[in-house]
Structures are given as C-alpha cells and as structure tokens.
Amino acid sequence: MLDTGVYAVAFDPAGKYLAGGGINDTVYLWDVETQDVIFELCGHQEKINAIAFDPTGSYLVSGGDDGTVRIWDVEKREPVAALEGHTETVYAVAFDPKSRVLASGSNDGTVRLWDTSTWKKMDVLKHGTNVYSLAFSRDGSRLASACADNKIRLWDVANREGASE
C-alpha cells in the first residue's frame, strides 16, 4: 500500500478492490487480496479528497482540490468523464443506490446532482457553506449533506427542494 498522504478510500461493492487517492493527484486501485496496485488513474490537477464506487462496481468517481469530479470505468481502466461546475474543492461524492444519480459536494456551498446515463448536470442544491459529506437514503429518495455550518440538510431528490442555479 502507499505510504504517502491518502485522503480518501473506498471498497468496490464486491470487496475485491480498494481505491485510494490523495496528495499526489492520482487514484490508485489495489487488489485487496494481493495488496498490489492494479492500475493508476491520472487526471486530477491537485489533491484528491473523495472517492466512491457506484453500486454495480462499474464506475469509480473521484473529487478533488481542482474542483472537478472525474468518472473512471473500472473494467476498461480509463476515464469516462470530467464533470465541471464546482468553483472550489470537491470534498464529497456519492451514488444513489440504483446508480442513477451522482451527487458531489464542494467548498463552493453547493451539491451538484449528475445524471449517470449522460454524466450531465441535473441540478444544483444550494447549501450555502462548505459541503463535506454526502449520503443517499437506502431507497435513494433523500440525500443528506453535512456542512461547515454544523448542520445536516435532508434533500428530497425527486423534488430537488432547495435546488437553484
């Protein structure tokens, strides 16, 4: 395993892979059994703060200080998309349980919702302060965001309450 600054880790749904990223702007994928690096994914320009697999294990997403959210195809080991729109550091990424929606949270005070079939922005939820963590409910109908104002906000994903651009 790496001995440099790693800020984000995630297991794939099957528990076969561990992804990690951090200070050197590279996402690493390890085989959990052998602990060997299987491949390295490069694309971020700065530190990586958030990593998540989609529920199928097909995609890996990372967010970083460069304000981008990057999507990687795990099987093909290649980039799929670079999602732009955040104006500051991305600290949180999360997929809904059905892999239809990706959420990203940033120091710019927004949560962005992305359609995973097109990787296009669906909406922007204005939180108002730095977003550090995101979690979908089990059925995907709600999204929780935790922020620097010491508050947790619950969003109705279908109605996108609080959504504006």
Residue 8 is predicted with a pLDDT of: 78
The four Cα atoms 64, 145, 14, 17 give a dihedral, to 10 degrees, of: 20
Q: Give the per-residue pLDDT at 46.
A: 60
0.85 exceeded by pTM: yes
Q: Does pLDDT of 163 surpass 50? A: no
**Residue-wise pLDDT tens digits, 14-55:** 999 988 887 677 777 888 898 887 776 666 666 688 899 999
H-state helical runs in the chain: none
pLDDT(165) > 50? no
Q: What is the mean pLDDT of residues 76-103?
A: 91
Confidence of residue 164 (pLDDT cuts 50, 70, 90): very low
> By percentage, how much of the chain surpasses pLDDT 70?
88
Mean of pLDDT values over 134-162: 88
CA 155/CA 61 separation, integer angstroms: 21
Q: Which two tokens mark 89? A: 């550091």
Pairing type for strands 17-22 and 26-31 reads antiparallel
